[in-house]
Structure 1
Amino acid sequence: MIRKSDVISLEPSRTPYDLEWRMFGFPIRVNPWFWLIMAMLGGRSLQFGFEVLLLFVLVAFVSVLVHELGHAFMMRRFGGIPRIVLTGFGGVAISGTGGRTRMERILISLAGPFAGLSLFGIVVGSDALFHWAETSRMTVFAYVFLYQVNLYWNILNLLPVFPLDGGQVVRNAVSRSEYTGLRLATQVSMVTCGIVVMYCFFANQLNWIPVDPLFTGVMFGLLGYQNYMIYQQLNGPRSFSDDPFRR
C-alpha cells in the first residue's frame, strides 16, 4: 500500500490497452506492462511449455490482485475511496483519503500481506484436506506457483524497505512526524536493500532457492537507489510548505 502522494511517478499513464473493471466497488486497472513483466519473471517456466508460463502469469495476476484488495478493503474501512492499479512490478492501492492515524496507516499497510498470506494458507490447507495439487500436471504447477508467489513475495513485501509495506510500517511506527518517519525509513531501507543484494549475490553463486536471485537483487538494488535519492532530497534545502512528502 502506498498513498497517492508517494506514488505519482509509479502509477503509469493510461493506454488504449489497459484492462479496466470494478470489483467489490473498487476501480481496477491493469497496465499492459504488468503482463509483460510477469511473463519475464516467470520466463523459466517456459521450459515446461507455453501453457505453464501462461499459468504463472495468471497466478501472479490473482495473487497481486488479492494483495491489493487487502489494502483496498482496509482503506475503505477507514473512510478511503481506493482504486487499484496493477503495474510493471506489482500493484498499488491508491486513496487520497483514509488512514488518518498512525495505527490506521499501519493496519492498511499490513492488510495486503495478510491477504496474500491468507491465500497461501487457503492453498496449503485445501491441498492438505482434498489433495488436489497432484491430480494433474497443471495442478502441480498451479500449487507450486501459488505457494511461491503468495509466501515469498509477501514475506519480501514485509521487509523494512520503503515504499514496500514493511517500509510503510516503519515510516509510521518510528515517529509521529511524517517527515522524520520517512527520513528514518529511508535509512533503514538502504541498509536492508544492501543486505538483500548481498544475499542475492551469494544465492546466485550457490544456486540457492526459493527466490530468483537475479530479479530480487536488481529490484532491491533499484529500491535502495530510490531510497537514497529520497534521503538526499529530504536532507536538502526545503521549507515545510515545499515538503513533497507532506500529506
Structure 2
Amino acid sequence: MSRILIVEDEQAMLTGLRDNLEFEGYEVDTADRGDDGLKKLQTGTYDLVLLDVMLPGLSGFDVCRKSRALGIDTPIILLTARGEELDKVLGLELGADDYITKPFSLRELLARIKVILRRTGSAGNNLHQNSLVTIGNLRVSFDAYEAYLDDTPVKMSHKEFEILHYLHRHAGKIVTRDDLLDHVWGMDYQPTARTVDNFIVRLRNKVDTPDSQHIITVHGMGYKLVL
C-alpha cells in the first residue's frame, strides 16, 4: 500500500483529499504547516507528497528545497493557485516532480499520483497494455493520462489528453470547436477558438507521422480524427 503525505493548511481541502485518497486505498498522513510537513518527511517514510505552496511555518517551496538539500527524494506534487505560472516553474526547479493547479478535478489528481507512483515503482512497474490505444505515433492510456512514443513517455498536458480523448471517442466524425469548448473546457471557462487551434497544433506535432496526418481540419466546420 502506497503511503502519501498531504501538507495543506486549508482544512476542508485537507479533509477532502485525505478521505478520497483513503477511499482509493492509499495510506494517508497529514500536516497543516510547512515546518511540520518537513519534520514528517525527515522522520517518516512516504511514497509521495502532496504539498501546498502557501503554508504557515514554511512555504511549500521552502519544504521542497530543504527536503532535497537533506537528500530526501520522495516525489512531490505541488498544489498551486490558478495563474501562478512563475511559481510552478520555480517549484519544478526546486525539485518538485509535478504540479496541479487549484481548483482541480479528483480524477486528474488521482491520474497524476498513479503516474508518479508507477514511475518510481511504488505502484508496481507493470504497464497496463490493454488500456493503451494507438493514435498515429502514440500509444495512449486515457485512464492513466500517459502517452508513449515507442517505449518513451511523451509529456502531454491535461487539456491535450482531454482533447485527444474527445476526438478519439468521436473518431471519424467531425468535431466542431464549440464541441471541444463545451466538453473539454466547460461552462466555467471559455477560451477562444484560437486557443483550441493552438492545442490542435501541439497534438498534431505529437500524433501525426511523417507519412500520414491523423487530425484533419475540415474547413469551416472543425476537426476529425482519422485512425
TM-score relative to the length of structure 2:
0.28
* Structure with greater helix share of residues: 1
More strand by share: 2
Higher relative contact order (Cα pairs below 8 Å, separated by 6+ residues): 1
TM-score, normalised to structure 1, is 0.27
